[in-house]
Amino acid sequence: MQAPAPGTATILAAMTNAPDTPPVPFSRIKIRAGALVFCGDDVALIRRDRADSTHYTPPGGNVEDGEDLEEALARELSEELDLDVAQAEGGDLMWVVDQRVTRPGPTPSPRKLHLIYRLHISPEVRAGLAETEQDELPDGGYETGVIEWIDYRATAGLPLFPPLGPALAALPDPRAAVTDASLEAVTDENYTWV
């Protein structure tokens, strides 16, 4: 066995004996796979009502360790909408949103990449989907979200996160090609956490 290079022991000792320093905000990255699920001109959004605010979000959630993006999207749509993605068409990546927003709470805010896919379903499939969704909270409780079908052209003024309402409302139709998948980054300078 070869001896470590000179100075290696000092570096290793410094790494293992480093003082407890608080993690830096945005020093870790999470990926969220979400979808704009269209039925004609209507798009499925989850409405969350809180004591001091209401906001909307596309169905989706964080990609778990070892999970590929398509698996994560299929799992989240099954959990939140009761949608089997085999019953939908499409699945193209529509937009990417880079989130670097400081949020309240004891843990440092992660940087989050929102991957927004697009799917289309029939009225028959829509009729069998969930009307509410249960989101698990850090304390073990649940927050109920209501699935609303909203004309995509009416989303520009909605409190929608990630804030893709203006881009969504500007589409000439639900199947329109998107030429730039990168939407404006969400930062503390242009967004206040709700």
Instruction: List, for residues 85-106, the tens digit of each pLDDT value.
Output: 999 999 999 999 999 988 777 8
- Give residue limits of the domains in the chain: 25-187
pLDDT given at position 190: 87
- Which has more pLDDT, 151 or 15? 151
pTM of the model: 0.83
The CATH architecture that domain 25-187 belongs to is Alpha-Beta Complex (3.90)
Please check whether residue 96 is in contact with residue 90, taking contact to mean a CB–CB distance below 8 angstroms.
Answer: no
Residue 9 — pLDDT band, cuts 50, 70, 90? very low
In the predicted structure, residue 24 carries a pLDDT above the cut 80: no
Residues in contact with 2: Cβ distance below 8 Å, sequence separation at least 6, in sequence order: none
DSSP state of 22: P
pLDDT given at position 194: 65
Mean pLDDT, range 160-169, rounded to an integer: 96
Q: What share of the chain in percent tops pLDDT 90?
A: 66
Mean pLDDT, range 157-168, rounded to an integer: 95
Sign of the CA dihedral running 139, 50, 77, 133: positive
